Structure 1
Amino acid sequence: MRLRLVPQETNFDFFRFRNATFGASIVAVIASLVLWLTVGLNFGIDFLGGTTIRTESAAAVDVGAYRAALEPLALGDVVISEVFDPTFAPDQNVAQIRVQAQDGAEAVTSDTVASIEAALQGVDPSITFPSVESVGPKVSGELVTTALVALGAAIAAMLVYIWLRFEWQFAVGAVAALVHDVILTIGIFSLLQIRFDLATIAALLTVLGYSINDTVVIFDRLRENLIKFKKTPLIEVMNRSVNETLARTLMTSGTTLLALIALLVLGGDVIRGFVFAIFWGVIVGTYSSVYVAKNVVLMLGVDRDPKSPDAGTQFADVDA
C-alpha cells in the first residue's frame, strides 16, 4: 500500500483566482524591492570586508566556546568554522574566525585582533594564530559584482534552454518565475535582517535550479497535453497539467522541506542563513511554478493551430 499525499486523480481549479494570485505576486515583488532599497540587506563579511584569523591548537575546536568568549567584545558579524584537512596531524586542530570591519574601517585594528586573541587564549591557553588576513572594501565590491553576474548568467542560460526546449512564451514565464523567487528571497532577508553573504548567493543559485526543475516538469506535461487536447481551452489544459503533476510536486517539496526544517532547528547559526534561503526558496519556487510561470504563459498564449501536427510546441522533438 503506497503513501499518497493527494488522491491519484485531482481536479483543482488552480487558475480560478489567477488575477488575484498574480496581483499578489506583483505586490510582493514591489514590496521586496522597496524593502531592499529602503531597509537594505544585512551584508556579511564577504560583502562588507573584514579580517580572517586562523587559529591552531592541540585541543579540539569548540566553536560554541569560541563564540561565547568573543561575544562580550561586541564585534558584530563573526563567523567561526572548523577547518578540516587530511594532511593535518592528529593534534592539529584548525579554526577560521572571520570578523567584520569595525566602524567603516578597512580592516580590524591591531588592538581588536589582540583582544580577540586574548579572549580565545582564555578558552584554550595552547591556541596559536598562524595568520591574520584582511579583506578590504574593493575586494568585497568585486564579490558583489561577481555574485550578480552569476545570478544573471544562470537566469539567462535557463531562458535560452526553455526557449529551445519549448516556446518563447514558456521561456518568458519561466524567467518571470525565477526573478520573482530571487526578489522575494532578497525581500525576506531584508525584512528579517538575516545575514546575507556568499553562502546566501549559493543558496539562491540552488533555489533557481530547484524552481526551474519544478517548472519544467509541469511545462513538459503541458506540452504533451497541448498536443493531445488541441481543441480544449488553454486554461483547462493548464489545470489538467498541474493536477497531473501535483502529487510529484507535493512529494518533492514536502520531503525537501522536512530535511530543511531539521537543518534549521539543529544546524546551528553558521548555516542558518543558507538553509533559510533554500527553505524559503522552495516554498516560493513551488508557488511561482504555477501562479507566476503558468499565468504568464496563459496571458501570452501559445500557437495552437489545429492544422499543425505539433500544435502547442515549436520544438517538440528537441531532447532535454
Structure 2
Amino acid sequence: MSKATMNINFMGARKPLGILSVLLVIASVALLVTRGLNLGLDFTGGTTVVVKSPVDVELSQARADLAESGFSDAVVQHYGSPKEVNIRVAPKEGDDADTIGHDVYAALKLHNEDLELLKVEFVGPQVGDELRDESGTAMLLALGLMMLYVWFRFSNKFGVATVVALFHDVIIVLGLFSLVQWPFDLTVLAAVLALIGYSLNDSIVVADRIREDFRNSRQNDPTQIINNAVNATFSRTINTSLTTLLVLVALYFFGGEVMRAFSEALLVGIAVGTYSSIYVVSNILFMMNVSKEDFLIPEPEEIDEMP
C-alpha cells in the first residue's frame, strides 16, 4: 500500500493505549521496587571461568557436576560455541577469590579430563558497585542530553513528549527484565543505551513530519493533522523496525549466549519504541493542547531605518 492511499485511524485508539501505557509503566516501577533486577556479575562481583572441551558440552550435565561440588548457584552458558562454556559464580563470604575459579575448573574436570581452562576473571564487589553507579549515571546523562537536543530542535512540547516516550521505553524494558528475572549486565545496559538512540530517532522522524504538517496544512484539527503525519511516516517506521528485528532475531538464535541478553533487550525495546513513537508522543502532545500556533515561524520585525 502506498503512502498516498494509506489512511489508518491511528489516533482512534490513542486513549485506551494511553491508559495501557500508564498501567505498564506503573507495573514496571512496582516490579523494579519490589523485585529489582537480576544483576549480573558485572554489577555484583564474582568469578568468571571459561573452559573448552574437545567435544560438545551438555550444560545440564555441567550444572549437575558443579552442584555436586557446592556451586549449585553457578550460571552456566555456552560461550561462542557448544565446545566452550562460560561459568559465573557469585561471591560468597569466606570463599577465597584467588582459588574459587580453579575450584570450579577442578569440579568440571572430574567428569571431563580433556577440559581446558581458557580464562579466569574475578570482579570484586566494590568494582561491581562502581560499575552499577556509573552505568546508572550514563543512562540518566544520555536521557538528559537527548532531552536538550529535542528541546532545541523542535519545541518545548515536543521535548517533553519525546523524553517521556524515552523514559516509557526504558522503564518498560527494565520492568520486563525484573518480571522474568533475566540477567542484567553490561551487555544489556549497552542494549538499553542503544534503545534510547533508536527510540529517539524514530520519534524525531514522526515529530518532524507532525511539525511540518502543522505548519503547512490548512486543517486546524490536531487529531487529523497528527493522524496524517503518522500515516505518512508509518511505512518508513515499519520498514526500519522490521529490518532491525531481522538482525536481532539472527543474533538471538545464532549469536550464542553472550549476545542473547543483548538481543532480548533490543527485541522488546524496538517493539515498545515503535509503539511509543506513535502513541506516547501523540498522547503527551494532546495533553499539552498542541496547536498550529506552537509551530508557527515568527516573522522578523521590520526596522524603520528612517531617522
Q: TM-score range by the shorter chain?
A: 0.7 to 0.9
Q: Deviation at 1:202? A: 0.4
Residues 208 and 142 of structure 1: CA distance in aligned 2, closer, same or farther (over 3 Å): same
State the one-letter code of the partner of 2:223. I
1:163-182 matches, within 5 Å, as 163-182=151-170
Identify the match of residue 177 of structure 2 among 189, 194, 197: 189
Identify the match of residue 235 of structure 1 among 195, 202, 223: 223
2:90 aligned partner? 101
Distance, in Å, in 1 between the alignment partners of 2:11 and 2:192 is 28
Unaligned runs of 5+ in 1: 84-94, 312-320
1:76 aligned partner? 74
Q: Deviation at 1:98? A: 5.1
- Is 25-34 or 14-23 further displaced after alignment? 14-23
1:87 aligned partner? none
What do the CA deviations read for 1:173-220 (whole angstroms, capped 9, x no partner)?
010000000000011111111111110000001111111111000111
State the one-letter code of the partner of 1:209. G
RMSD over aligned Cα, in angstroms?
Answer: 3.0
State the one-letter code of the partner of 1:45. L
Q: Deviation at 1:133? A: 3.6
Distance, in Å, in 2 between the alignment partners of 1:35 and 1:210 is 25
2:146 aligned partner? 158
Identify the match of residue 265 of structure 2 among 277, 302, 308: 277
Unaligned runs of 5+ in 2: 67-71, 299-307
Contact 1:107-1:135 at 8 Å conserved across structures: no
What do the CA deviations read for 1:85-144 (whole angstroms, capped 9, x no partner)?
xxxxxxxxxx79452324466765735632423524754637356x64421211111111
Q: Deviation at 1:302? A: 3.8
Residues 223 and 120 of structure 1: CA distance in aligned 2, closer, same or farther (over 3 Å): farther
2:6 aligned partner? 10
Identify the match of residue 25 of structure 1 among 18, 21, 39: 21
Q: Deviation at 1:285? A: 0.1
Contact 1:99-1:108 at 8 Å conserved across structures: no
Partner of 2:258: helix, strand, or coil?
coil
Distance, in Å, in 2 between the alignment partners of 1:191 and 1:147 is 21
Residues 123 and 82 of structure 1: CA distance in aligned 2, closer, same or farther (over 3 Å): farther
